[in-house]
Structure 1
Amino acid sequence: MTTGDAEGDADGADRRPGGRRPGRSGTKEAILAAAREQFADKGYTGATFRGIAAQAGVDPALVRHFYGTKDQLFAATLALPGEMLRRLQQSFEGDPEDLGERFARAYLGLWEEPETAPALKAMMRTALTTEQTADLMRDFLQARILGGVAEQLGDDRPHLRAVLAGTHLVGVAVARHVVGVEPVASLDFDDLVALLAPNLQSYLTGDLPEHARHP
């Protein structure tokens, strides 16, 4: 069960009336607007279904009814396809020795597809220019994406390893799709993955300098 599922179940159990109840479309819009404010003010980890529902003036159960998990609600606030999170999380499953290639192919593949690329580009451009969005994205990536990678890496500095791999991929994505740095921007996708996979795998499962410790 994910963090979002757990919270959704907890908040969904609270079925006390939540105040005004606009129409169906109005309710969804109110929840989404409240979620944007709550995520912006409190970050991904600090925002809760109950707090979002209170601000929207609805029952907490309606938040889960319309948007499912916390991950799905967050994706909706950024206009990100929910499929994106599922595919990234699936890449964490399987043999750890192939994780570098799977992670690169899943993340960079989302930047190549017309269904997901526009939202990712818009999100990244905003994050690069808006401190509030950058803080929110950092919170989300550390809590959900990098945290999922770290869970697969054992006890030897898993968070540091996940951050090294994740930031490497984000940098490549920005160079390829936002800034257009050559020759990265025009490399064949499979060639790009093949070039990146060994370095990513080294971050994830290779030897790190003993003195490179992180809390």
Structure 2
Amino acid sequence: MTARRTTEGPAARSGRPGRRPGGPDTRGEILGAARKSFADKGFTATSIRAVAREAGVDAALVHHYFDSKDELFIEAMALPADPRQIATIIIDGPRDEIGRRIATVFLRVWESPDGQQRMRAIVRSIAGSEEVARLMREGITQLLLQPVSDALDVPDAPLRVSLVAAQLMGLAMIRYLLELEPVASADLQTLVDRLAPVLQHHLTG
């Protein structure tokens, strides 16, 4: 008698009902489920298991494509760069140059071809949806702002870091969404030179 074939994949091996194996577009479906879960529940309350349930797959399959919830968030929201890596770049280095590091790293990310496209999409989404704005606020706070705030080690660090975020978001709105001149066409170095002292003052002034 010929042995019956079994479906390959984590769901089949686990024997759990209601969990389908991975298909050609499983990664995309997981990202879609993650966007919905993040939007409905926020960054903190969303779990890998919740995303797996939403996508109709086993949690192990989500882990196959994404190492962590942080990585899933970054991919789902199509961020132009990993905020954890940006936090490391900002924190490492002389304290009296942190404003310039922030201005440089953010503008370089935004000015890359892929970065400009993603930044415009993110800014438009934030401006048009309170849910997206809340989600981005929560995720970026935990992955980027909080580590930088902790590294400053001053009593009002959260306020200082929030003011920097406001400054950067304002620049992004003016340059990439509203495209107001002369900011929209200003060269990168000019913007860094103008912005760095302001950010430095917010953080250490």
Alignment TM-score, normalising by the size of structure 2: 0.84
Tell me what 1:85 maps to: 83
Tell me what 1:201 maps to: 200
Q: Is 1:41–2:58 an aligned residue pair?
A: no
Tell me what 1:181 maps to: 180
Shift of 1:23: 3.0
Tell me what 2:121 maps to: 122
Separation (CA, whole Å) in 1 of partners of 2:107 and 2:198: 15
SS of match in other structure, 1:37:
helix
Unaligned runs of 5+ in 1: 1-14, 207-215
- Residue type at the aligned position of 2:158: H
Between the two proteins, the alignment pairs up a number of residues equal to 191
User: Cα RMSD (Å) of the superposition?
Assistant: 2.0
Matches within 5 A, 1:149-188: 149-188=148-187
Conservation of the 8 A alpha-carbon contact between 1:18 and 1:54: no
Separation (CA, whole Å) in 1 of partners of 2:141 and 2:79: 17
Conservation of the 8 A alpha-carbon contact between 1:40 and 1:133: yes
- Residue type at the aligned position of 1:110: V
Separation (CA, whole Å) in 2 of partners of 1:133 and 1:103: 24
Shift of 1:90: 3.0
Conservation of the 8 A alpha-carbon contact between 2:100 and 2:200: yes
Separation (CA, whole Å) in 2 of partners of 1:16 and 1:148: 41
Structure 1 runs (4+) deviating above 6 angstroms are none
- Residue type at the aligned position of 1:90: T
Unaligned runs of 5+ in 2: 1-13
Indicate the structure (1 or 2) with the bigger Cα radius of gyration: 2
Separation (CA, whole Å) in 2 of partners of 1:142 and 1:195: 25
Conservation of the 8 A alpha-carbon contact between 1:127 and 1:134: yes
Conservation of the 8 A alpha-carbon contact between 1:99 and 1:201: yes
SS of match in other structure, 1:200:
helix
- Residue type at the aligned position of 1:142: T
Alignment TM-score, normalising by the size of structure 1: 0.81
SS of match in other structure, 2:145:
helix
CA-to-aligned-CA distance 1:22-76 (integer Å, 9 cap, x gap): 3333432332122111100111122111211222232222212202222221122
Shift of 1:87: 4.2
Inter-CA distance 16–55: structure 2 relative to 1 (3 Å threshold): farther
